[in-house]
């Protein structure tokens, strides 16, 4: 399955980020804890080479805890500061303030020597579509200060949010990069909902997801849907359609409805906590 999605507004958003990055001291890069490698945009790496960086492993409540620990260690070995967060519940957000001060301690010391006191740290919040940036900012600030949504591409323009006297945040639109060099990255991003379903073959996507779950998390499909697990992903999809009563007139299985159930329950966490990649496979 080949997934590519780079709508025109992302080119504009990238240019805007390039113009604004000189205004910030720090990049808070949100990645999805279910796909920490695939959800890191290499363009953000390029733009932010000279900036302090904190990686926020967001949606960690949806990810496999054991694999999240592996990813946290992996990023720390690369010299990155890492904070595990769940923006919806607010878990982990208090740890960010200390991480920001640590990441910017050299900047704070330079300001002090120049006699500049109490200048707020300016941080850009960056990430791919649907990674939860707006929800993170609203939770971090303790108020609804940005628009949120459960579809990729809600934030279309940059906006500043003043948290307190110490920190100001610059919210930015979610951007992908023009081409996924590794086709697996595009598929994984489609699975978590960072690519619009309208541009996808969702049945093929669901079949790949079912195959992955059968291989990496055996038994979970049988437990959730009451089906006999099989290596045949199409047979599994048929079983899910039958168990959930997804039928067309005449009793034929409604595969598209079953596809929708599988993708929605995976993305929302109702199916369980899963991580689609581990560090060793990406090095």
Q: What is the pLDDT of residue 155?
A: 46
Asked whether 160 and 207 are in contact (CB, 8 A), the reply is no
For 64-78, what is each residue's pLDDT tens digit?
A: 999 999 999 999 998
DSSP of 143-163: S--S---SSTT---S-EEEE-
> What average pLDDT does this structure show over 187-201?
92
The CATH number linked to 106 is 3.40.50.300
Look at residue 237 in the predicted model and tell me its pLDDT: 97
Kindly report the three-state secondary structure assignment for every residue of 105-139: HHHHHHHHHCCCCCCCEEEEEECCCCCCHHHHHHH
116 DSSP β-pair partners = none
What does the angle CA 267 – CA 272 – CA 273 come to, to the nearest 5 degrees? 85
Q: Do 161 and 235 belong to one domain?
A: no
**CA angle, residues 240, 241, 246, in degrees to nearest 5:** 145
Which comes out higher in pLDDT, residue 208 or 12? 208
Residues 132 and 268 in one domain: no
The stretches of the chain forming alpha helices (DSSP H) are: 8-20, 42-47, 65-77, 94-103, 105-113, 133-141, 183-192, 202-216, 220-225, 233-243, 255-268
Is residue 113 one of the residues assigned to a domain?
Answer: yes
Locate 204 and state its tokens: 């093929």
Summarize the confidence of residues 174-201 as an average pLDDT. Answer: 85
Q: Are 158 and 90 contained in the same domain?
A: yes
In a domain, 177, yes or no: no
Domain for residue 181, yes or no?
A: no
- Is 141 in the same domain as 66? yes
Residue 112 CA to its chain's centroid (Å):
36
Write down the mean pLDDT value for the chain. Answer: 87
Provide the residue range defining the domain that includes 265.
201-282
- Of the listed ranges 11-25, 30-44, 124-138, 156-170, the least confidently predicted one is 156-170
Is residue 28 located within the same domain as residue 153? yes
pTM, 2 dp: 0.86
In a domain, 162, yes or no: yes
Closest CA to 39 of 145, 169, 193: 193
Residue 176 lies in a domain: no
> Would residue 184 count as lying in a domain?
no
Tokens, residue 165: 């006297």
- For residues 30 and 133, is the Cβ–Cβ distance under 8 A? yes
Give the C-alpha distances (Å, rounded to integers) separating 31 from 28, 47, 80, 82, 210: 10, 16, 13, 11, 23
Residue 209 near residue 35, CB atoms below 8 Å: no
Query: Is there a contact between 104 and 81 (Cβ–Cβ < 8 Å)?
Result: no
Per-residue pLDDT reduced to its tens digit, 199-252: 899 999 999 999 999 999 999 999 999 999 889 999 999 999 999 999 998 889
Quick one: 71 and 12 in the same domain? yes
- On whether the CB atoms of residues 101 and 3 are closer than 8 A, the answer is no
21 and 112 belong to one structural domain: yes
User: Is 190 within a domain?
Assistant: no
What CATH number corresponds to the domain at position 246? 1.10.1580.10
Quick one: pLDDT band at residue 180, thresholds 50, 70, 90? confident
pLDDT more than 70, % of the chain: 89
- pLDDT-derived band of residue 150, with 50, 70 and 90 as boundaries? low
150 & 257 share domain: no
Q: Is the pLDDT of residue 178 over 70?
A: no
**Same-domain pairing of 128 and 214:** no
Answer whether 24's CB lies under 8 Å from 171's CB: no
Distance CA 220, CA 227 (A): 10
What domain count does the chain have?
Answer: 2
The segment with the largest mean pLDDT, out of 30-34, 127-131, 193-197, is: 30-34
Distance (Å, whole) CA 43 – CA 40: 9
Task: Kindly tell me if the per-residue pLDDT of 281 is higher than 60.
Answer: no
pLDDT band at 164 (very low <50, low <70, confident <90, very high): confident
Task: Work out the pLDDT band at 148, boundaries 50, 70, 90.
Answer: very low
DSSP label of 52: E
Tell me, yes or no, whether 96 and 206 share the same domain.
Answer: no
Q: Are 164 and 78 found together in one domain?
A: yes
The arithmetic mean of pLDDT across residues 92-110, rounded, is 90
- Is 213 part of a structural domain of the chain? yes
Same-domain pairing of 160 and 222: no
């Amino acid at each position: 399955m080949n997934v590519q999605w780079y709508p025109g507004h992302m080119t504009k958003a990238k240019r805007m980020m390039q113009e604004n990055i000189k205004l910030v001291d720090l990049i808070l890069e949100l990645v999805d804890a279910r796909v920490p490698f695939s959800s890191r945009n290499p363009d953000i790496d390029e733009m932010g080479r000279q900036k302090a960086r904190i990686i926020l492993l967001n949606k960690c409540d949806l990810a496999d805890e054991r694999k999240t620990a592996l990813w946290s260690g992996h990023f720390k070995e690369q010299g990155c500061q890492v904070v595990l967060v769940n923006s919806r519940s607010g878990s982990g957000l208090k740890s960010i303030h200390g991480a920001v001060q640590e990441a910017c301690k050299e900047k704070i010391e330079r300001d002090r020597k120049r006699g500049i006191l109490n200048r707020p740290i300016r941080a850009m919040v960056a990430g791919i579509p649907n990674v939860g940036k707006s929800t993170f900012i609203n939770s971090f600030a303790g108020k609804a200060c940005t628009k949120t949504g459960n579809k990729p591409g809600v934030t279309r323009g940059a906006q500043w949010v003043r948290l307190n006297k110490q920190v100001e945040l610059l919210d930015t639109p979610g951007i992908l990069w023009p081409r996924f060099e590794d086709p697996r990255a595009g598929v994984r991003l489609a699975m978590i909902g960072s690519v619009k379903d309208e541009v996808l073959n969702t049945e093929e996507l669901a079949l790949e997801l079912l195959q992955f779950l059968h291989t990496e998390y055996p038994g979970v499909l049988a437990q959730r849907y009451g089906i006999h697990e099989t290596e045949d992903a199409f047979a599994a999809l048929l079983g899910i359609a039958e168990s959930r009563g997804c039928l067309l007139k005449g009793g034929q299985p409604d595969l598209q409805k079953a596809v929708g159930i599988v993708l929605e329950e995976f993305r929302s966490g109702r199916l369980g906590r899963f991580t689609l990649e581990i560090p060793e496979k990406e090095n």
